[in-house]
Amino acid sequence: MSEFRIHHDVNELLSLLHVRGGDGAEGYIDLLQKHRTPYVTTTVSAHSAKVKLAEFSKTPEDFLRKYEELKSKNVRNLDPLVYLLSKLCEDKEMLQFLQQNAKERSESSANTTSTTTTSYSLPQTSSKMSMQELDELRKKLGNVTASSNAPLPAEVTRKMLRDKHNKKNPTQPNPVFPNWVYDRPALLGDFITSPTPPGDPAVAIGTMPLAAQEQALVEDLLFVLVGVDGRDITAQPVLGRQNRSFIVDSTLDMSVKELVNRILPVASYYSTITRFIEEKSSFEYGQVNHALTAAMRTLMKEYLILVTQLEHLQRQGLLSLQKLWFYIQPTMRTMEILASIASSVDKGECMGGSTLSLLHDRTFNYTGDSQAQELCLYLTKAASVPYFEILEKWIYRGIIKDPYSEFMVEEHELQKEKIQEDYNDKYWDQRYTIVQHRIPSFLQKMADKILSTGKYLNVVRECGRDVTCPDAKEVLYTLKERAYVEQIEKSYNYASKVLLAFLMEEKELVSRLRSIKHYFLMDKGDFFVHFMDLTEEELKKPVDDIVPPRLEALLELALRMSTANTDPFKDDLKIDLMPHDVITQLLRVLAIETKQEKAIINADPADAALSGLEAFSFDYIVKWPLSLIINRKALTRYQMLFRHMFYCKHVERLLCNVWISNKDFKQYPLRSPKWFAAAFALRQRMLNFVQNIQYYMMFEVMEPTWHVMENNLKTASNIDDVLCHHTSFLDNCLKDCMLTNPELLRIFSKLMLVCVKFTNCMQRFIQSMRLSLEQGTMDGPPAQGEDAEEAERKRATTKFLAEHVDAHQSDVGFEASLSKFDSNFSMLLLDLLDKLSIYSTNDCEHSMISIIYRLDFNGFYTERLERMAIERSQKAAA
């Protein structure tokens, strides 16, 4: 079970139990993942669990009856559920909590009902209800009760199944038998029960001699055994799925009556089987049930031949009641098994794979009874033929031809052209899905491989190439599962090989991934220098003022002017302007299915004046079938990594520009540059931080992880492995770049913001200082005829302004601002290093500790970090 499925189930359970507070679902999920063990149901464990629950139950008969009913319906995972419930019964603390929880929920629901329901009162009538009205009311109530408990009529069930099929396949409507097939009961092989009981015979059979009674009953029994009422033995009407019962003349001699009652179950079995055959042979119940009824019909022919032979003996006067019992006994066991299977399929409303599961389980349950097992094996083989035909088309050609929705793999209408907008891998994960109740139990272990095999071949077919497995052989049901398991394995290996070769060689998947790496992971340095130089002014504008075609043109120019020009896939790179900045996007993603999700989604947009640089991202055009691997979800992860690194590169360029401005300004003779030295030192610390973070992300996270993925792709045996390795690469990069931890992400974004504000402040200060200096020299150098006195005056003015500019800036609070920047940056950096130290120790994220070693290479922050750790431990102890 995947982590997402566990998360969903835990949330559902907490919602059902109305559990609030605590650590939420996350705490329970961690416990489940650490302590879960695979559970394999055995007959012994299931039986002991059932006995334990029956003992615990207040009404064990009802529990056992319900268990047998669900078992007869072939309900999946029934035994694991019973085992879980038996374990819960042993935990007294858990039972006490559940009882208290149930009591609280019932009280809350009662309060809700009392406040929301409206009370009704019967109208006062002046006259009493007549007996006729009372009888009519009683009949209506009886009909309602009977209809709520009785199964739906066969006509209604057939119509529902037909409508369901026609809705799914409107171009291929279900064939329908004409109405006269159902309207003429004489065409059926079952009893025709008349609404009026037959009249009393002229002579009661009990008054006849014993020999005459026996001869009369032999004739009656031969009629009853083929679904026709006799004179002294008549069939009772059946309701729903009841077994047929019979009325025998009460005046019959007791010894004869006892022998008759032994034979009558065969007639009841015959009635059950005949009704099942007539109903389930309709098209609406699917090909598997149709094949099963055809096999049963063949067996019933042998039974009817036996009855015909007995009739021939009876006409010759050679058949007594004892002989009839002797001849019918070998058939009784066969009829009993057939009737039992028919009842189970009917009760469970089984179709397709569920019918085969029931037959397979019956075949194994009769181990030790060779005759019964051989009979069930015959039925299972016959019923599995149409199912295996669908299976063969799927695993050998990647085609589903399942007109009656019986196969384990279900196809959904999804368009591969929309995969570029798909953020949830819908096409690959939801175009073809497994339907659990349609999986035959003997194919349960191979279900995932069967699904993958057809999906692989289907992808190649979607690309216009006809593929057929060269090892295609007919798949036949057998008790030795290895026979068809080997066929499925062979077809799976072939499909994996074909699709993998198609994507790797013909579609150049690895080259595509390298191309994406060039741009999204920024390993083409000269391209990004050109691009950022060209787009610097454009990206400073608000996002609404940016003209995308202009950015596209600048991107094209940067691609042609750099080494990226040699990339054959460079034309697939596009510009994308996002609606949020990268931090907001990441926090929204991380808040999914958490307590903060609603607050973050409903928060007022803080990026109303989003700049082009904050909204900027790359996009990439990926066509089918590469879009299965490089899907929208993967591209979104690439975009988040790119935006994060691109913004870091932007902050680095801002700090470098400040450095350049400072270099230019050194030519001016300043008298007291104390604050200037502090500003230079802070700028250098910021630059050191940003450059080391970039170095860590690019050379200690992305490059090694990319190298691991490339090696894994060389050894991948199927596309699911490729998907897994690619997803793992992106997840590891996001995690190690601190993009999956909201706390680290917030601290890092604040650090970047401090750096940006510092550069803006420094640029404003340097600009104002430059303007002040230029005002003293705005007249330029002395003219050719200018006297020496005027030139000396200009030089004196320039010297005076240069000597007093620092005092002027100090007056406006520059030193205070600088001190504030320094303290904020130092505090946030220490907080980041402290949190990194905690996560690297507690969560075993050892890669993150490299940041600490790089930023604290000379032990400058070590003492403060140790002091913070001591304070934290003291608080925890207190």
* Cβ atoms 540, 612 nearer than 8 A: yes
C-alpha separations of 548 from 533, 552, 562, 617 in Å: 17, 6, 21, 12
Beta partners for residue 620, in sequence order: 573
pLDDT at 878: 63
Which residues lie closer than 8 Å to 864 by C-beta, 6 or more apart? 830
| Tokens 């002014």 sit on residue | 537
pLDDT digits (tens, 9 = 90+) for 576-616: 888 877 777 777 776 654 555 455 555 544 445 677 888 88
Which residues lie closer than 8 Å to 388 by C-beta, 6 or more apart? 474, 475, 476, 477, 484
Q: What is the rounded distance in angstroms from the CA atom of residue 671 to the CA atom of residue 706?
A: 53
Task: Calculate the dihedral angle through the C-alpha atoms of 123, 129, 132, 134, rounding to the nearest 10 degrees.
Answer: 70
pLDDT digits (tens, 9 = 90+) for 13-47: 777 766 665 555 666 666 666 666 655 556 567 77
Going by pLDDT thresholds of 50, 70 and 90, the confidence category of residue 801 is very low
pLDDT at 705: 92
pLDDT digits (tens, 9 = 90+) for 702-747: 999 999 999 999 888 888 888 889 999 998 898 888 888 878 888 8
Percent residues over pLDDT 90 in the chain: 5
Burial class (CB in 10 A: 0-12, 13-18, 19+), 19: middle
pLDDT at 181: 60
pLDDT at 749: 86
Which residues lie closer than 8 Å to 756 by C-beta, 6 or more apart? 651, 654
pLDDT digits (tens, 9 = 90+) for 279-332: 888 777 888 888 998 999 999 899 889 989 988 888 888 888 888 889 988 888
pLDDT at 672: 45
Mean pLDDT of the chain: 76
Going by pLDDT thresholds of 50, 70 and 90, the confidence category of residue 546 is confident
Give the closest residue to 270 by CA, choosing from 222, 218, 211, 203: 222
**Residue 779 scores a pLDDT above 70:** no
* Cβ atoms 861, 853 nearer than 8 A: no
Host H or E run for residue 217: helix 210-224
DSSP-assigned states of every residue in 293-328: HHHHHHHHHHHHHHHHHHHHHHHTT---HHHHHHHH
Give the closest residue to 458 by CA, choosing from 510, 421, 422, 414: 414
* Full-model pTM: 0.69
Mean per-residue pLDDT for 536-561? 86
pLDDT digits (tens, 9 = 90+) for 64-105: 888 877 776 667 677 778 888 888 887 777 777 777 777 777
Percent residues over pLDDT 70 in the chain: 71
pLDDT digits (tens, 9 = 90+) for 228-241: 888 888 888 877 66
pLDDT at 729: 92
Structure-model confidence comparison of residues 122 and 655, the more confident one: 655
* Cβ atoms 615, 579 nearer than 8 A: yes
Structure-model confidence comparison of residues 495 and 668, the more confident one: 495
Structure tokens at 103: 């009591």
pLDDT digits (tens, 9 = 90+) for 847-875: 677 777 777 777 777 777 777 767 767 77
Q: What is the rounded distance in angstroms from the CA atom of residue 351 to the CA atom of residue 140?
A: 34
Give the closest residue to 683 by CA, choosing from 660, 659, 648, 661: 659
Q: What is the rounded distance in angstroms from the CA atom of residue 30 to the CA atom of residue 460?
A: 40
φ/ψ (deg, to 5) at 648: -60, -40
3-state SS, 417-455, equals HHHHHCCCCHHHHHCEEECHHHCCHHHHHHHHHHHHHHH
pLDDT at 378: 92
pLDDT at 769: 67
φ/ψ (deg, to 5) at 718: -155, 170
Is the peptide bond between 38 and the residue preceding it cis, with omega within 30 degrees of 0?
A: no
Mean per-residue pLDDT for 253-269? 86
Ranges 114-128, 601-615, 634-648, 654-668: which has the least confidence = 114-128
Structure-model confidence comparison of residues 833 and 811, the more confident one: 833
Give the closest residue to 289 by CA, choosing from 329, 223, 215, 348: 348
pLDDT at 706: 93
Mean per-residue pLDDT for 46-64? 80
**Residue 145 scores a pLDDT above 50:** no
DSSP-assigned states of every residue in 125-154: -SSPPPHHHHHHHHHHHHHHHHHHHSPPPH
Q: What is the rounded distance in angstroms from the CA atom of residue 627 to the CA atom of residue 211?
A: 85
pLDDT digits (tens, 9 = 90+) for 183-212: 665 556 677 765 545 545 556 676 777 778
Give the closest residue to 850 by CA, choosing from 712, 642, 697: 697
Ranges 260-274, 501-515, 669-683: which has the least confidence = 669-683
Say how far residue 673 (Cα) sits from the centre of its chain: 64
Host H or E run for residue 577: strand 573-577
Q: What is the rounded distance in angstroms from the CA atom of residue 635 to the CA atom of residue 424?
A: 12
